[in-house]
Amino acid sequence: MIEGTLVNLRASEMADLERNTRWINDREVTRFLSIRYQMSLAAEEAWMRELVSKPLSYDRPFFAIETKDGVHIGNTNLFNVRPEARAAELGIMVGEKAYWSKGYGSDALRTLLGFAFGEMNLNRVELFVYDFNARARAAYRKCGFVEEGARRQALFRAGAYHDLVVMSVLRAEWEAVRDA
């Protein structure tokens, strides 16, 4: 496993299925994610069977987030990895709401960034965050992410258009945060 301070990152297992399904059907969780429709246990099972059937790799860095007590609280991954540019997009979901705003998400982010820059040798990690997700934007800033701008009204959720804020952290910026 990949060790953080409050959490560890490990490969997903089929045993995570019910929790993952519960989280992505919870609209308090998905209002900040690009998930709108409900997901059946069967559809999630098919997706997870595919996920866990192959070893994690440069193209598929997908991790379950566990507290140090072994409680599975969410998932985090990199995707759209572009080796020439050494860049990837980051996604994170803390599905267990009891663990929101307590530093677990930030620690998972720092742990994944340590892996992305320290092991995958990336130069840039980027993400899109909804403008109304102030908690996430603050967490990303703490980890060294910089706001690069916003795709205006690119997202329609809950009856209105919203901006998609683009953030990224470059290798040197990450190293400054890590060593601080």
Rule CB under 8 A: which residues touch other proteins? 36, 84-87, 123-124, 126, 146, 148-156, 161, 166, 168, 170
Closest CA to 34 of 148, 125, 134, 155: 155
User: Minimum Å distance from CB 61 to other proteins?
Assistant: 19
The beta strands (E) that lie in 109-159 are given as 124-130, 146-157
CB of 96 to other proteins, least distance (A): 27
CB nearer to other proteins: pick between 1 and 146: 146
Buried b (16+ CB within 10 A) or exposed e, 40-68: eeeebeeebeebbeeeeeeeebbbbbbbe
The token pair at 40 is: 């059946």
Measured between alpha carbons, how far apart are the two ends of the chain, in Å? Answer: 25
For 19, the token pair is 């929790």
**Run of H or E residues at 45:** helix 41-53
Min. distance of Cβ 108 from other proteins in angstroms? Answer: 24
